[in-house]
């Protein structure tokens, strides 16, 4: 029998908001050896991609704050940043969702298991993740619409790899789950994003200004300032993005337990080796 007590990564019952956030952290802690190293090149690549846009917007490290005279360029910078982070979270959502599914079945997936390409649906993930990022980027260009797009699209990759749906059906499945129970899942996803945004802000700025106060690096030199800020933001994002992917994974499964009775269905399955196919919507 799987552990269904309070220390389980994902107990087989509907969870409170606090329990969901705890489950995401527990999942990240259990899979950190894979998810964080996987996130590092993505987080660093994002910083390198955004640097020319920051120069165009005259946004300077470490805050990269708005220059009132370049609002258009800065708005584009924010939109592209929103899209790239949404795409990265979606990509990391593939192993995170499969690890969460295994945890729900009482099995801790190892690194080799999560890296195994068989059944992982990486090709479909590589097609859908950029589309998720593009949708969030377009919404961000429209201002407050970003909140709607980000909140609604969290379950796209979990629906693909856990529910085993065809790629073209995964986005509609994600939208349907996000708006159930008064858009509870969408709201929790946004809450998690805001919480990790505050952590990212505190750590990223703390590292930069801490080095300044200690005098270890001459951050009055623009080149050094950019290099240190890039490393600081990439480092903190390499933890935050897997954490948000883990939240998407556990939130998806919890929403299914809350609204579809997934926990009841699993309780009626005879004991035996855990099979990911047990979580599929269509078998």
The model's pLDDT over 35-72, given as tens digits with 9 standing for 90+, comes to: 999 999 999 999 999 999 999 998 888 888 887 778 99
Cβ-based neighbours of 207, under 8 Å, separated by 6 or more: 228, 232, 235, 236
Q: Quickly list DSSP for 76-100.
A: HHHHHHHHHHHHHHHHHHHHHHHHH
Q: What is the mean pLDDT of residues 209-218?
A: 76
Tally the domains of the chain: 1
- Whether residue 202 lies inside any domain: the answer is yes
Residue 231 lies in a domain: yes
Distance in angstroms (rounded) separating the CA atoms of residues 238 and 231: 10
Q: How far is CA 153 from the centre of its chain?
A: 11
Supply the pLDDT for residue 263: 86
CA 233 → CA 45, 241, 244, distances in Å? Answer: 11, 11, 16
For residue 48, the Cα-to-chain-centroid distance in whole angstroms is 20
Flag whether pLDDT at 274 surpasses 70.
no
Indicate whether 30 pLDDT > 50: yes
Per DSSP, the three-state class of 181 is helix
Domain assignment present for 5: no
- Given this model, what pLDDT does residue 283 score? 47
Evaluate whether 134 touches 127 at the Cβ level (below 8 Å).
no
pLDDT of residue 4: 44
For all residues of the chain together, what is the average pLDDT? 89
Which pair of tokens denotes residue 83?
Answer: 């899209």
Domain assignment of residue 11, yes or no: no
Domain extent at residue 103: 17-279
Quick one: tokens of 210?
């801490």
What does the alpha-carbon distance between residue 129 and residue 278 come to, in Å, rounded to a whole number?
25
6 in a structural domain: no
pLDDT-derived band at 217 (thresholds 50, 70, 90) equals low
Please tell me the predicted confidence (pLDDT) of residue 3. 44
- Whether residue 1 is predicted with pLDDT greater than 60 in this model: the reply is no
- List of residues 6+ apart from 66 with CB closer than 8 A: 57, 59, 74
Q: Examine residue 59 and state whether it is found in any structural domain, yes or no.
A: yes
Cα–Cα distance measured from residue 65 to residue 170, given in angstroms and rounded to the nearest whole number: 36
pLDDT above 60: residue 246: yes
Q: What is the pLDDT of residues 137-193, one digit of tens each?
A: 999 999 889 999 999 999 999 999 999 999 999 999 999 999 999 999 999 999 999
Distance in angstroms (rounded) separating the CA atoms of residues 225 and 246: 32
Is 45 inside a domain boundary? yes
Instruction: Give pLDDT tens digits for 34-43.
Output: 999 999 999 9
Q: Which residue has the higher pLDDT, 7 or 163?
A: 163
């Amino acid at each position: 029998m799987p552990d269904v007590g309070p220390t389980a990564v994902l107990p087989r019952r509907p969870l409170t908001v606090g329990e969901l956030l705890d489950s995401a952290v527990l999942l990240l802690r259990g899979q950190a050896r894979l998810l964080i190293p996987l996130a590092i090149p993505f987080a660093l690549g994002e910083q390198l991609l955004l640097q020319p846009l920051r120069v165009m917007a005259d946004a300077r490290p470490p805050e990269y704050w708005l220059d009132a005279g370049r609002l258009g360029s800065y708005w584009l910078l924010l939109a592209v940043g929103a899209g790239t982070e949404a795409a990265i979270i979606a990509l990391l959502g593939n192993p995170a969702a499969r690890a969460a599914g295994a945890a729900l079945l009482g099995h801790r997936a190892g690194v080799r298991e999560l890296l195994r390409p068989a059944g992982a649906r990486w090709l479909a993930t590589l097609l859908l993740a950029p589309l998720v990022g593009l949708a969030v980027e377009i919404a961000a260009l429209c201002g407050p619409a970003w909140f709607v797009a980000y909140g609604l699209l969290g379950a796209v990759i979990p629906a693909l790899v856990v529910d085993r749906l065809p790629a073209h059906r995964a986005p509609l499945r994600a939208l349907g789950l996000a708006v159930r129970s008064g858009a509870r899942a969408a709201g929790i996803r946004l809450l998690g994003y805001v919480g990790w945004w505050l952590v990212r802000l505190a750590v990223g700025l703390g590292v930069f200004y801490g080095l300044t106060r200690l005098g270890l690096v001459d951050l009055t030199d623009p080149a050094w300032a950019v290099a240190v800020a890039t490393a600081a933001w990439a480092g903190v994002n390499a933890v935050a993005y897997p954490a948000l992917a883990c939240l998407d994974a556990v939130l998806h499964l919890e929403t299914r337990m809350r609204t579809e009775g997934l926990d009841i269905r699993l309780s009626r399955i005879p004991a035996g080796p855990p099979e990911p196919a047990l979580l599929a919507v269509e078998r």
